[in-house]
Amino acid sequence: MPDYAWMPYRPGPGDDLPLPLPYGLYVALREQVGPEHTSRVGGLLRPSLELRTDVAEEEPGWTSVGRTGGSAALPPGVDWPEGDGHPMELLARLDCARLAEAFRAGGGGRWPLPVEGLLLFFHDPMPADLDGESCQVLHVPVGSPERPAPPDPDGLEPLPARPVRARWALSAPSYLEDELRALLAGDYLVAMGVSDACREHLGGADVRLLGWCDSDNTTRPDGHRPLLQVEGSAVDARWGELVNVSFWITEEDLAAGRLDRVRQGLEVA
């Protein structure tokens, strides 16, 4: 995990970085693209939350934020979402207040999601087509009754319930992102070098809330940004050739708190 608590350099005029940049990454970027573009690349970094199910409760720096899999907390009158003839799979049940706490305890940035209630992330692991609409996010009150997943006609078992913990983390764009290529005048080779440096110093995340896309092979709905990304192996999923599921949202919907128009991204092995 990079150390965001110190930066042994002082930004000069035109070199203001809106988020704390690990010194090693700063040096690597400065060698590749110079001080001006280093500042601009720093301006593209997004705050996010890295989520993990294998972190011990006493591990410092991590906040308990909910769980993956298990039952859903659904208010009366709210049906369990359905996919193509079968119930959707509950990927995560996350506590908004705890998420906001973990986010604010990190390196900075504005928390863009609700600060109360629970977020429930459902998806169809066997979508009939790849139009990206086979997912749903529900924002429900804390204390809603617990409800197990309905029986699946194909015998698919729900994901096991596993506690999940979170910590703040920087996220960087890959060379596939238009924003990075535009900043670097469309130079793919330079963009790939910048992307590699960012991944080396920032690392990735098997489960990430907000930030940039961690996979270069995920289908990306146009005009959307990642909301939640889940690597199947991190949640004990048995999805066959499907290895990663992601939820995508537009900037406008994220700013307005609209979660009813999310789209699905998929990565197939």
pLDDT digits (tens, 9 = 90+) for 38-75: 888 888 899 999 999 988 877 888 999 999 999 999 99
**Helices first, then strands: H and E counts in the chain:** 5, 12
Q: What pLDDT, in 10s, does the model give residues 125-138? A: 877 666 667 899 99
Domain assignment of residue 234, yes or no: yes
Domain assignment of residue 20, yes or no: no
Domain assignment of residue 140, yes or no: yes
Domain assignment of residue 21, yes or no: no
Give the CA distances from residue 137 to residues 26, 106, 229, 263, in Å, rounded to whole numbers and listed in that order: 36, 25, 13, 10
pTM of the model: 0.88
The secondary structure of residue 82, as a DSSP letter, is B
Q: What pLDDT, in 10s, does the model give residues 217-261? A: 888 888 999 999 999 999 988 888 888 999 999 999 999 999 999
Q: Which domain holds residue 158?
A: 44-268
- Here the CATH number for the domain that contains residue 196 is 2.30.320.10
Nearest Cα neighbor of 137 from 196, 200, 72, 191 is 72
Domain assignment of residue 178, yes or no: yes
Distance separating alpha carbons of residues 262 and 246, to the nearest angstrom = 10
User: Per DSSP, what are the bridge partners of residue 244?
Assistant: 231, 267
Average pLDDT, the chain: 86
Q: Which helix (H) or strand (E) segment is 261 a member of?
A: none
Give the CA distances from residue 251 to residues 99, 116, 254, in Å, rounded to whole numbers and listed in that order: 19, 21, 5
219 in Cβ contact with 244 (< 8 Å):
no
Give the pLDDT of residue 9.
33
Domain assignment of residue 30, yes or no: no
Domain assignment of residue 25, yes or no: no
Number of domains making up the chain? 1
Tokens, residue 214: 């961690």
Domain assignment of residue 27, yes or no: no
161 burial level (CB within 10 Å; 0-12, 13-18, 19+): middle
